[in-house]
Structure 1
Amino acid sequence: MNHKSILVHLANDEEHTTRLEVALKLAKQNDAHVSALFITTPIGMPAEIYGRGASVQFLLDATKSSEDRAEELEKEFRETCERENISHSWVVQEGDHISLLAEHAHAADVIIVSQPYFEHFEDRFRTRLVEEVTLLSGLPCLMVPRGFDASKDIAKRVMIAWKSTRESLRAVRDNMNALRKADKVFLLTIQPDTQDALSLSEINNYLNRHGINAETLTIAQTETSIGQTIHDSAQAHGCDVIVCGAYGHSRLREMLLGGVTKYLVKEATIPVVMSH
């Protein structure tokens, strides 16, 4: 990507070092500033924690552990940034993760978060950080998949999931600089109606005028969900990131019935940049 101010979400979770490595790599490549926001409050309460006393003790212990980890990581972070000459800032706060990320979003171009885990039924409601941050921040949200190898390239081969919606157009405009620098850009539309077919040509011409030569792909029919078809096509074309709009339908409908956003948040194995 080619954003100049990167906000990375940090917490004491399994994927926090990967997020930070991705942020530092992108910052180094694009001469960008990294704002590291470490939130010490636990993201969610484990399902096995019951009762007021147990919950309070868990929060106290988890917060103390996070504070200790924040101190360790800050030292590593600052040393790396100084060694690599990366502009940086470090903030530690306690509170709601979604609210704090949205608050700090005013000074960023993109937010880096991790794909949530879905081990329990409750996780679908408790770990909606990706979707909520995308909706509330007004910024593109780069979701790093679980277990991602941070040494891999991002945005060398880009798949744009296109539909004639405000969200898709926002996603394209949010990532114009990255699209210009990409080695290959694909513009994908699935089961297009007349309006989609027309807008696909128009958006392709728009990209051309900005120096972006995209290859258009049209899938007339699909036996899988739209989300899976987008993901499978991105993999088939060797793409390392998917650019798409988030929540073209109502949030309630997507939560209850599925949708592209829900599928990608849950199932993606390559990074996804979402805009709303």
Structure 2
Amino acid sequence: MEAKFMDIRNILVPLYDGGTDSALTTALLFARKFGAHISALVATGDARDVAPLAGEGLSGAMVEEMMQATEAEDRKRVLQIKAKFDAFTQKHDLRPQRPLSWDRSPDDTGLSASFDIVTGSAHDAVVWRARLADMTVVPHMSETDNARATETLHAILFDSGRPLIVAPPRIPAVVGRRLCIAWNGTAEASAALRSTLAVAQSADAVRVLVSPDYHRIGPEGERVIAYLNLHGVHADLHEFRSIDRSVGAGMLAAARAFEADMLSLGAYSHSRLRQMIIGGVTRHVLEKADLTVLMSR
């Protein structure tokens, strides 16, 4: 069956001080695979957020000075990120477009990219754009200590309704050629499976990963194989085991043994708070994965 790649046409990439090269390269690899547009975005804080400090005993002049310093720092940061973006687009011959213009026909396979600057919270500035993106690519969590990047990652995952792609720590050479799909029967795993179909249809090899330590109530792995087959994807089934009682470590080891360059899984089947406190598969993969990861919930 011929693969159809129309599912992925707009790739959002929030840009930060760290992880820019890997995130942009990951987005470019997907864009080449699907003929998609890259929508790069920088979110800046609102300098007026420091105004409440006037109630903490600071004079109006001091608050105004802090607002000006915040704006200057943000301008400097944006200029640095824009310079990296421009160098990247020129190197890879990406056609520039105005943000949100999207004046492309379905038959237009030329690669294009846009750069936009927005002001506001991660939720308002990035998540709302992510809701009209077919995927959003963010840096690996351990790539940067930027708290804003981590906050945005979770905001996209929980409130965009669209799949999240976490770029690997190092700049990847390929993406989606050897794909592992983690399955545990949950609604989150189902959402990730559906989001992965376009990639799976173009992959050279696909493996579904299951584990008695990972599975919850829901369809078994054999049914996933049958479902993929209906979509023209031929996959095999592999059962992995936890490593030192860590399901996440066992999953990543199984993906590594398959020589996968991409892993797909449902995120936060348990609550995020529970995983932050006692650990969990999602948290382990976010922190330890050395390959491209698709997450959905």
TM superposition score normalised by structure 2: 0.78
How far apart, CA to CA, are the structure 1 residues paired with 2:295 and 2:121?
21
Matches of 1:85 and 1:133, distance apart in 2: 28
Higher-Rg structure is: 2
Query: Residues 195 and 59 of structure 1: is their aligned pair in 2 closer, same or farther, counting only changes over 3 Å?
Result: closer
Q: Distance in 2 between matches of 1:130 and 1:74?
A: 20
Q: Is the 8 A contact 1:41 1:62 kept in 2?
A: no
Q: What's the C-alpha RMSD, in Å, of the aligned pairs?
A: 3.0
Q: CA deviation at 1:99?
A: 3.2
Q: Deviations over 1:174-228 (max 9, x none)?
A: 1111101111111011126897695211111111111111110113565340111
Higher mean C-alpha deviation, range 257-266 or range 58-67: 58-67
Task: Give the distance between the partners of 1:130 and 1:66, measured in 2 at CA.
Answer: 19
CA distance in 2, matches of 1:134, 1:74: 24
Aligned residues: 262
Change (3 A) 1:68 1:60: same
- Aligned partners of 1:101 and 1:137 also within 8 Å: no
The equivalent of 2:162 in structure 1 is 139
The answer to whether the 8 Å contact 1:162/1:200 transfers is yes
Structure-2 residue corresponding to 1:4? 9
Q: Which residue of 2 aligns with 1:130?
A: 153
1:95 to 117, 120, 131: 120
Q: Residue 269 of structure 1: SS of its match in structure 2?
A: coil
Sequence identity (%) = 26
Q: Which moved more, 1:221-230 or 1:132-141?
A: 221-230
Q: Which residue of 2 aligns with 1:82?
A: 95
Counterparts of 2:87 and 2:143, CA distance in 1: 30
Q: Is the CA contact (8 Å cut-off) linking 1:158 and 1:182 kept in structure 2?
A: yes
Residue number in structure 2 paired with 1:153: 174
CA contact (8 A) 1:41 1:66 kept: no
- What runs of 5+ residues in structure 1 fail to find an aligned partner? 43-50
2:142 partner SS: coil
Aligned pair partner of 2:231 in 210, 217, 221: 210
- Taking the aligned partners of 1:258 and 1:194, their CA distance within structure 2 comes to 17
Q: How does 1:5-154 map to 2 (within 5 A)?
A: 5-11=10-16, 13-41=17-45, 59-73=70-84, 75-76=86-87, 79=90, 80-82=93-95, 85-117=110-142, 127-146=150-169, 148-150=170-172, 152-154=173-175
Number of the residue aligned with 1:162: 183
Judged with a 3 Å threshold, the aligned counterparts in structure 2 of structure 1 residues 223 and 78 are, in CA distance, closer, same or farther, namely closer
Tell me if 1:258 matches 2:279: yes
Q: Distance in 2 between matches of 1:70 and 1:100?
A: 17
CA separation in 1, counterparts of 2:111 and 2:176?
20
- Report if the CA contact (8 A) 2:242-2:248 is conserved: no
Deviates more, 1:244-253 or 1:215-224: 215-224
One-letter code of the match for 2:79? D
* Distance apart, 1:100 and its partner CA: 1.6
Q: In the TM superposition, what is the alpha-carbon distance from 1:70 to its structure 2 partner?
A: 4.4
Structure 1 residues 78 and 58, CA gap change in structure 2 (3 angstroms):
same
Distance 1:85 1:219 in 2: 41
